[in-house]
Structure 1
Amino acid sequence: MAVIPHADTRRTETPGGVMTTLASPTQGGASLALWRVDVPAGTTGPRHFIDAEQVWTVVSGRIDIALDGSEITAAEGDTVILPANVLRQVRTEEGFAAIVAAPAGARAGMPDSDSMVVPPWIA
């Protein structure tokens, strides 16, 4: 068992928002990655996919997700399960915060690239 003090969480800033790693293999030795996403209003993230299922719970604000040709909207208190290997793009007009879980080591890729990486908030 490990306790990860809030002061020890890892913060990663991207053009799409701030990811704060709460637990991961390199943050407490967890086999599941758990992080908080904070995205400012008027943000559209990149089109990408993840090779593992993710579970997002919106803790404030609202997100719109283009998911493999469908549109999903989630607001405070809603939970969205995003399947593996499905192209997605997250947008928000008002901004949002969410808690996200995925298997440790999950990799992200872009639609026009053969390269996949483990994002630092999942590592």
Structure 2
Amino acid sequence: MTAGATGPEHSVSREQVWTVTAGTLEVTCGGRTERVTAGRTVILPPGPVRRVHAPTDAEAHVAMRADGVASVPGTEGTRALPWAR
């Protein structure tokens, strides 16, 4: 993610494990925000609304089961995650 980028608010049906490999991410999940720096890992449980923001340029590896889907508050239905196909 480039510095200043913020992903959409969404929820995911499967647990996700994010390992930041460069820079810093601010991860908000279930109303709690954690600053995750390079070399650190955050585990996001399935269900709660989350949002990821990059205050600096950042890279991360994200692991989860490939059958997970995302949903966006206020919209109907779910979306397959393009990188999980």
Work out whether 1:72 is the aligned partner of 2:34. Answer: yes
Partners of 1:65 and 1:115 in 2: how far apart?
24
SS of equivalent to 1:44 = coil
Cα deviation, 1:4-26, whole Å, max 9, x if unaligned, reads: xxxxxxxxxxxxxxxxxxxxxxx
Query: Which residue of 74, 77, 81 corresponds with 1:115?
Result: 77
1:103 aligned residue: 65
TM-score relative to the length of structure 1: 0.67
Larger gyration radius, structure 1 or structure 2: 1
Q: Which amino acid aligns with 1:68?
A: G
Q: CA deviation at 1:61?
A: 0.3
Partners of 1:92 and 1:100 in 2: how far apart?
15
Work out whether 1:46 is the aligned partner of 2:8. Answer: yes
Bigger relative CO (Cα 8 Å, ≥ 6 apart): 2
Structure 2 residue runs of 5 or longer lacking an equivalent are: none
When you count strand as a share of all residues, which structure comes out higher? 1
When the two chains are superposed, the root-mean-square deviation of aligned CA atoms in Å is 0.8
SS of equivalent to 2:67 = coil
1:82 aligned residue: 44
Structure 1 residue runs of 5 or longer lacking an equivalent are: 1-38
Q: Which amino acid aligns with 1:106?
A: G
TM-score relative to the length of structure 2: 0.95
Q: What's the % identity of the aligned pairs?
A: 35
SS of equivalent to 1:121 = helix
